Structure 1
């Protein structure tokens, strides 16, 4: 009888050990094996108030089978994650393991999205791009410019040129107002630094005029090393009381009337932004200048040139000249190149 009991006990112990080993092997294999059922570019959004059971439900909705919920719970308990889920969006790229995903949720390593403000955009272009940005929360789309300025805490201010062009990272739940606040602060920091280190004797009353000049420089050239030269031309014209005569300001003043071409009547039609009819700077920026344009406005290159015109070879570069006679010759050369290119394209 004792022998029989011993055999039964031994067999039971062996069976229990086998079951325990099988469960342990299944558990460890689960923790570090790729999660099955996840599609490419999927993401898991953990919202405020979500329980771990709720998160498992969201994983099921994304294609993860519920048969392994016990292992998910055991692993979360072991890692101390179940009660410490951080709100946010988590990437579920193919090959991610349960352990990796839970560690991300523990550490709050959420997905960061990118939004780029392009140098030279105007406010209308910036707002249109923001309206298309996902998953950015849209709060400003229904506001006009005056309401937007008030929402940003800048009631009564003209918003053009106030947001620094660069790439901003944001997470799900951030709004367009959050991003604009950051871009505004970045421009203020950039403008303050440039103004504080400005060259002495500039014909600019304050940093606001520097921002206006920077916006014109930004629109005049996409060639970074030319910006100080462009700035030098405009600074010398301001010092001499010459009109700036820059097409981008005319275009800005035309607004929706601009359809791609400037005619002589447009140059002769007076607006606050027509630098062919008015001396000095226009009343506001005309675009969002990048940091290099802001620096160029406050650190113009020395020299004696007063004119510039495009080379016309597709490089985006300009020819800088000192006299009207030299400028007119450079314009003739540009027109010759332009006509030759048009003729070659037509053949």
Structure 2
């Protein structure tokens, strides 16, 4: 009899253990496998929020199948007490494990409201925008120019929230003076800037910023990135280039940056100036002459005068041989690549072609014909009624 009882007990125990094992395997698949979310969402984790509260919100939004599995998995992974406040983009099909990783890793918010402080060649503006998680696109809520407009109330309210993402975006071709003057206007930054960084040494890029970050720290990060880009691309440069140092290549890159806004043209434009240097011809590039006039402090806003083309400055490439002494702007990575790996061409000249790009020529006669076509286009445009 006792043997029968023990046998039955062992049978039940085995069944229970098998059941528990199957349940554990099922829970593991639920935790690590694709989740039920069919469309991306933005999850806001508030300061001091509990894991239970977050799991309930995720369940309500259809991101997880079972809150208790989510909490148990987080506890097993040792992350139950490591929630970081912020707004996080949860993609469709995200597993519970990946959601836990996202909301415990910290860092800038990846969705919700963002302030983008944009430093451009012709000015600086601020955009307050919000990410639509379903489409991945930002919807603009407020836009203003900090040097001319008072900050809108919506900006003042949203920008101070702890999970609002703050970003500084530096456009290719802005000068170091423009960058410094712009950063002085960013109300979410602190500290003074003692010196203007050397021209060309700041990397055009997008920078995630924390509130009250030091302006000098941001400039240092911009300089660090540019130095790394230049070092990497210099090591992979083409042979036979007329540059003795990476700094000279940076000067060329800045000229390429200012000469064309068409990405496909950068290497071709670089080839023209490389060919000119090799042949001992003067570069004759207007953007360098303009830099000699403005010293990078603002935009000229008009064409060059004959007196300026004849004025002797270290940047007047109609009068000096070789490269100017410094870059004339902060070039982006693509322009540095173009300067260090230009196209192989025989081109020595280029002029605008009326489409936003340029017509290139290997001979002066061909160039003169291209110039005549451009003059005709200009004349025709001048005859057009304004507004057409």
The two structures share one fold, judged by TM-score above 0.5:
yes
1:216 corresponds to: 255
Alignment of 1:6-25 (within 5 A): none
Q: Find the aligned partners of 1:191 and 1:331 in 2 and give their Cα distance.
A: 35
State the Cα distance separating 1:108 from its structure 2 match.
4.1
Among 168, 173, 179, the alignment partner of 1:115 is 168
- Unpaired runs of at least 5, structure 2: 1-43, 49-74, 89-100, 110-164
2:194 corresponds to: 143
Aligned in 2, Cα 1:343/1:188: closer, same or farther, shift over 3 Å? same
Verify: 1:166 aligned to 2:217, yes or no.
no
Q: Find the aligned partners of 2:337 and 2:216 in 1 and give their Cα distance.
A: 27
Q: Find the aligned partners of 1:107 and 1:259 in 2 and give their Cα distance.
A: 47
Q: Find the aligned partners of 2:106 and 2:333 in 1 and give their Cα distance.
A: 32
SS across alignment from 2:248: helix
Verify: 1:125 aligned to 2:167, yes or no.
no
Aligned in 2, Cα 1:228/1:110: closer, same or farther, shift over 3 Å? closer
More helix by share: 1
1:176 corresponds to: 215
Residue by residue over 1:274-318, the C-alpha shift from the partner in whole angstroms, topping out at 9 and shown as x without a partner, is 000111000000001010000000101001110000102xx3200
State the Cα distance separating 1:180 from its structure 2 match.
1.5
1:329 corresponds to: 369
Q: Indicate the structure whose relative CO is greater, using CA pairs within 8 Å and at least 6 residues apart.
A: 1
Q: Find the aligned partners of 2:347 and 2:105 in 1 and give their Cα distance.
A: 58
State the Cα distance separating 1:134 from its structure 2 match.
4.1
Verify: 1:262 aligned to 2:304, yes or no.
yes
- Unpaired runs of at least 5, structure 1: 1-41, 47-51, 53-78, 93-102, 150-158
Q: Find the aligned partners of 1:277 and 1:259 in 2 and give their Cα distance.
A: 23
Q: Find the aligned partners of 1:180 and 1:300 in 2 and give their Cα distance.
A: 29
State the Cα distance separating 1:343 from its structure 2 match.
1.0
SS across alignment from 2:278: helix
Q: Which has the larger radius of gyration?
A: 1
State the Cα distance separating 1:322 from its structure 2 match.
0.9
Q: Find the aligned partners of 1:179 and 1:109 in 2 and give their Cα distance.
A: 17
Decide whether the 8 Å contact of 1:115 with 1:133 is kept in 2.
no
Residue by residue over 1:311-338, the C-alpha shift from the partner in whole angstroms, topping out at 9 and shown as x without a partner, is 02xx320000011111111111101101
Q: Find the aligned partners of 1:134 and 1:43 in 2 and give their Cα distance.
A: 26
1:304 corresponds to: 346
Among 349, 355, 359, the alignment partner of 1:319 is 359
More strand by share: 2
What TM-score, normalized to structure 2? Answer: 0.58
Decide whether the 8 Å contact of 2:190 with 2:213 is kept in 1.
no
Residue by residue over 1:182-211, the C-alpha shift from the partner in whole angstroms, topping out at 9 and shown as x without a partner, is 211111111111111111111111100000
State the Cα distance separating 1:144 from its structure 2 match.
3.9
1:233 corresponds to: 272
2:320 corresponds to: 278
Aligned in 2, Cα 1:43/1:340: closer, same or farther, shift over 3 Å? farther
Among 185, 190, 201, the alignment partner of 2:240 is 201
Alignment of 1:77-96 (within 5 A): 90=86
Alignment of 1:99-114 (within 5 A): 108=106, 110-111=108-109, 112-114=165-167
State the Cα distance separating 1:171 from its structure 2 match.
1.7
State the Cα distance separating 1:105 from its structure 2 match.
9.3
SS across alignment from 1:132: coil
